[in-house]
Amino acid sequence: MNAIGYPIAVEGSARAPLRAFMRDRGIERFVVLCDVNVLTEARALTNGIRGRLGIEAFALGERRKTLSTLQTVLETLVRVGADRATTIVGVGGGVASDLFGFAAAAYMRGVPYVHVATSLVAMVDAAIGGKNGVDLPAGKNLAGTFRDPIAVFAHVDALQTLPYRHMREGLAEIVKHGIIEGHDLFDALETLAPHPFWRWPWETIVQDALAVKVAVVNDDRMEHGLREVLNLGHTFGHAIERASGYRVSHGAGVSIGLRAAGLLALRTGRFSRDEHLRVLALLALLKLPMATSESPAGVFPAMQSDKKKRGGVLRFVLPRAIGDVEYGVVARDGQVRAVLSRLNAPPGAGEFR
Ligand SMILES: NC(=O)c1ccc[n+]([C@@H]2O[C@H](COP(=O)([O-])OP(=O)(O)OC[C@H]3O[C@@H](n4cnc5c(N)ncnc54)[C@H](O)[C@@H]3O)[C@@H](O)[C@H]2O)c1
Ligand SMILES: [Zn+2]
């Protein structure tokens, strides 16, 4: 696929397409940077490709997505002798793509970057769209750039070793993409949801899910508007994450947020009960959370920090239908609070009251 200005290859193994890409582009020098948890994969993927200056592994995880790790990475690049003509090949999940992508953007004012995605979040979300960065003590993703990689490879076989809880992080985003797309992807998820992961056609799912992000990002490279639909479920989700002191993971927040967006859509005269129930049924089959013990008194104030980003008024992304998502919706505080109260109980008889 090349719709976004650079190739994105989704394959069982990224080995052959990566090799072909490096050869066809005439890349003569590259450094592999990887998450230590996929070091074996990174080695296998790049062994035998000519021009590898080094392969460097880093202990990552969200807590290490920091300026201090960035500095270590940049100093490593100096040590292995990377110059302005050296391509960086990052291997790992979303933390790796954010951190190594940022390092490539900063190193000697920018060297070419290739990402090989090994987590579901990286494949369908983080590695696509050109955003990179690190967290600051004051908040997540506060430092970073917009900069496209020269290629992205989804190494789908790697999902076999990805821990279940990290699979679920990606699934929440895939359901979100399914609601935005509304046809083949959403239908496929409904069909597959009762089956164990090993029976899923992951290449197809990853391909279809990332295509949703590619399509949206393409229409709105610098986030002026349309790209906001990708925030479906995120205004509620981020606030729940924050209010919980990040005990609730991002994927869990998004999943609960998808239910919340459906509820607010219903209260503001959008969406249908049937479609809301379809989304809930899918989340339930995938064992994604739909309720939180966080009180509205904690979550509502946490939502207000989203306001600053949007000129003082909270704007929601809400479904009008599965396959038709609207952004920039303003809702009354009372409606939002009513939705938050509902989230304290799982969906049940009272869902529409
Ligand atoms: N830039 C963007 O547009 C964007 C979009 C979404 C998410 N993100 C970022 O992505 C990050 C979350 O991504 P993530 O969920 O991939 O986290 P992650 O990169 O920390 O990966 C999750 C865990 O799985 C391990 N792992 C990765 N691939 C593996 C594999 N194949 N086998 C075994 N273990 C493996 C990692 O070492 C880590 O422990 C967050 O920092 C988030 O901010 C960025
Ligand atoms: Zn997200």
- DSSP-derived letter for residue 15 is H
Q: Is the dihedral of CA 28, 58, 159, 189 positive or negative?
A: negative
**Cβ neighbours of residue 178 closer than 8 Å, sequence gap 6 or more:** 185, 186, 189, 209, 212, 282, 322
pLDDT for the residue 4:
84
- Which of 99, 119, 145, 216 for mutating ligand 1's site (highest number of atoms within 8 Å of CB)? 119
Q: How far apart are CA 224 and CA 189, in angstroms?
A: 30
- Shared fold status for 8-161 and 165-352: no
pLDDT for the residue 187:
98
- Check pocket membership of 293 for ligand 1, CB cut-off 6 A: no
Instruction: Identify the CATH assignment for 165-352 out of 3.40.50.1820, 1.20.1370.20, 1.20.1090.10, 1.10.287.110.
Output: 1.20.1090.10
Quote the pTM value. Answer: 0.96
List 280's β-bridge partners, or say none: none
Nearest to 55 by CA among 85, 20, 80, 25: 80
The average confidence (pLDDT) of the chain is 95
- How far does residue 353's CA lie from ligand 1's centre (Å)? 38
- Name the residue with higher pLDDT: 223 or 212: 212
Name the pLDDT band for 3 (thresholds 50, 70, 90).
Answer: low
Q: Please identify, by atom number, the ligand 1 atom nearest to the C-alpha of residue 155.
A: 31
- Check pocket membership of 65 for ligand 1, CB cut-off 6 A: yes
Domain ranges within the chain, ordered by starting residue: 8-161, 165-352
Q: How far apart are CA 109 and CA 145, in angstroms?
A: 12
Q: Using one digit for the tens of pLDDT, what is the confidence trace for 259-281? A: 999 999 999 999 999 999 999 99
Asked whether residue 222 carries a pLDDT value surpassing 70, the answer given is no
Asked whether residue 353 carries a pLDDT value surpassing 90, the answer given is no
Asked whether residue 218 carries a pLDDT value surpassing 90, the answer given is no
Q: Using one digit for the tens of pLDDT, what is the confidence trace for 302-322? A: 998 776 566 778 999 999 999
Name the pLDDT band for 350 (thresholds 50, 70, 90).
Answer: confident
Range scoring the smallest mean pLDDT among 14-23, 101-110, 129-138, 225-234: 225-234
Helix (H) or strand (E) holding 281: helix 273-285
Q: Using one digit for the tens of pLDDT, what is the confidence trace for 113-163? A: 999 999 999 999 999 999 999 999 988 999 999 999 999 999 999 999 999
**DSSP readout, 86-145?**
PEEEEEESHHHHHHHHHHHHHGGG---EEEEE-SHHIIIIITSSSB--EEETTEEEEE--
Asked whether residue 346 carries a pLDDT value surpassing 60, the answer given is yes
Class of domain 8-161: alpha beta
Q: For the chain, what percent of residues have pLDDT higher than 90?
A: 90
Pairing of strands 113-117, 87-92: parallel
Name the pLDDT band for 333 (thresholds 50, 70, 90).
Answer: very high
Q: Please identify, by atom number, the ligand 1 atom nearest to the C-alpha of residue 96.
A: 19
pLDDT for the residue 265:
98
